[in-house]
């Protein structure tokens, strides 16, 4: 063997040893980074928050006559339908006859579909903090995240910690394609080192974050989150952490799925709408007069072709919809005519529902008087106060059940759940 061959063999061996040494050094570096991030973790205000017992919903009885712990009267019992877990569709208003003692009916509609077997209640797992007792409290621990963005009550939350601050656009772009396949909303927040507060991560922000929380909403009106969506989200968050040179911590999936099923069952029990009708008694209602009456009452046309009455904060209190196929638009009101309209109150999305119901019925009566129409139930029978009162009491009970589970009607969480 020549000296040249010996030299080449020696150089090849040295190269192999160099590659192995470099890989070993990289492995040590990443292990050290992960250990530093995990060992420095403080108790997380989102992941470590133990859900109150009120959020856990016991399985429904055989007949849907109860909402939470509040017994439902026969007037509304027929309208409470439990949502089915698989393959949900957008809820449609379904007319139900709700007789009172006087024999009159008021429409109560539900966003639910057929019932699915309830799962047994399973408490959300508590994630123990890993911070040592002698460590100082982290500012991340002290700053409470805004619940209207993320809440362990209704979100499956990933906690991501990275060694170097990551730009907002990079965080949002990294797994955009994967997350676009999900059937539930995803919300992002990051901890601002400047303001020492959690804030929404937005596309055009110049901010960068080391502490990131991402939440997949567990329930909306299409039903509970699917196992497949939860798996996609789980993998996407792991990949995101890897790309940002950080670590991700996520709750167990099975308890989250069970909690979603229970929460969906509860939401279906209170997901109702109340409707009262104003119909013509021979002559049609001209659109110009309808618009004048609506605008004088502070109502405006919304993107869905309805007149909406909002509070001072812009929250919808109730809407006025055309009973005929044509919706209300600013252009069409000049020539539009209709034989009937319906005032609708979405119970879980409105705070103080009993008070709002009174306002809505009073306005409906004014419309009926001004248009020479009639205020009737869904069987075209005149609607009296005796028919409204049982519904008003039932709204109070439904909204009390929501408040007992820390999901107050019209609140930030309720608006996300019932969307």
Token pair listed for 319: 């809407």
State yes or no: pLDDT of 180 exceeds 50: yes
How far apart CA 191 and CA 140 sit, in angstroms, is 7
The torsion angle over the Cα atoms of residues 334, 336, 337 and 342, rounded to 10 degrees, is -110
Question: E strands along 197-334, which residues?
Answer: 197-200, 208-217, 219-220, 223-224, 246-249, 272-279, 285-286, 299-301, 307-310, 316-322
Structural domains present in the chain = 39-47+128-250 (3.30.1400), 60-119+260-419 (3.30.1400.10)
Question: What tens digit of pLDDT does each residue of 14-31 get?
Answer: 777 876 776 776 666 666
∠ CA(236), CA(45), CA(201), 5° rounding? 50
Question: What tens digit of pLDDT does each residue of 35-69 get?
Answer: 655 554 555 555 555 444 433 333 333 333 333 34
For 40-72, give the DSSP string.
Answer: TPPPPTTTTPPPPGGGS-PPPPSSS-EETTEEP
pLDDT at residue 143 in the model: 60
Q: Whose CA is closest to 47, among 201, 237, 263?
A: 237
pLDDT higher at 96 or 271 = 271
pLDDT at residue 18 in the model: 74
Residues 6+ away with beta carbon under 8 Å from 409? 347, 348, 349, 350, 351, 353, 398, 399, 402, 403
∠ CA(96), CA(92), CA(65), 5° rounding? 45
pLDDT category, 145, cuts 50, 70, 90?
Answer: low
Q: Whose CA is closest to 79, among 104, 114, 109?
A: 109
Residues 6+ away with beta carbon under 8 Å from 238? 248, 250
pTM of the model: 0.69
Q: Are 418 and 221 in contact (CB under 8 A)?
A: yes
State yes or no: pLDDT of 136 exceeds 70: no
pLDDT at residue 135 in the model: 38
The one-character DSSP state at 169 is: H
pLDDT at residue 27 in the model: 67
Weakest mean pLDDT among 21-30, 93-102, 237-246, 313-322:
93-102
pLDDT at residue 11 in the model: 79
């Amino acid at each position: 063997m020549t000296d040249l061959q010996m030299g080449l063999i020696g150089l090849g061996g040295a190269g192999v040893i160099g590659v192995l040494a470099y890989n070993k050094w990289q492995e040590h570096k990443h292990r050290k980074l992960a250990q530093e991030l995990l060992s420095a973790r403080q108790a997380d205000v989102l992941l470590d928050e133990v859900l109150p017992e009120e959020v856990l919903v016991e399985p429904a009885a055989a007949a849907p006559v109860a909402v939470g712990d509040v017994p439902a009267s026969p007037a509304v019992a027929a309208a409470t339908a439990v949502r089915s877990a698989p393959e949900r569709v957008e809820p449609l208003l379904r007319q139900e006859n709700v007789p009172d003692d006087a024999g009159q009916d008021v429409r109560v509609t539900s966003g639910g579909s057929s019932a699915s077997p309830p799962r047994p209640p399973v408490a959300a797992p508590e994630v123990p903090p890993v911070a040592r007792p002698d460590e100082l409290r982290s500012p991340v621990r002290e700053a409470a995240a805004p619940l209207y963005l993320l809440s362990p009550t209704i979100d499956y939350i990933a906690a991501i910690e990275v060694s170097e601050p990551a730009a907002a656009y990079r965080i949002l772009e990294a797994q955009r394609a994967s997350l676009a396949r999900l059937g539930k909303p995803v919300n992002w927040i990051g901890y601002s080192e400047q303001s020492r507060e959690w804030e929404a991560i937005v596309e055009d922000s110049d901010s960068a974050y080391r502490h990131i929380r991402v939440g997949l909403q567990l329930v909306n009106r299409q039903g509970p989150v699917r196992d497949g969506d939860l798996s996609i989200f789980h993998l996407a968050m792991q990949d995101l952490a890897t790309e940002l040179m950080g670590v991700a911590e996520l709750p167990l999936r099975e308890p989250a799925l069970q909690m979603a099923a229970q929460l969906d069952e509860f939401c279906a029990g209170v997901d109702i709408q109340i409707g009262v009708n104003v119909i013509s008694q021979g002559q049609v209602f001209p659109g110009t007069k309808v618009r004048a009456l609506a605008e004088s009452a502070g109502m405006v046309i919304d993107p869905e072709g309805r007149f909406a009455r909002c509070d001072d904060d812009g929250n919808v209190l109730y809407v006025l919809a055309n009973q005929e196929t044509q919706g209300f638009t600013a252009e069409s009101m000049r020539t539009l005519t209709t034989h009937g309209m319906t005032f609708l109150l979405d119970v879980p999305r409105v705070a103080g529902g009993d008070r709002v119901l009174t306002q809505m019925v009073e306005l409906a009566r004014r419309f009926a008087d001004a248009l020479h129409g009639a205020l009737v139930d869904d069987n075209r029978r005149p609607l009296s106060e005796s028919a409204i009162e049982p519904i008003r009491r039932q709204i109070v009970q439904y909204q009390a059940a929501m408040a007992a589970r820390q999901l107050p009607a019209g609140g930030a969480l309720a608006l996300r759940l019932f969307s």
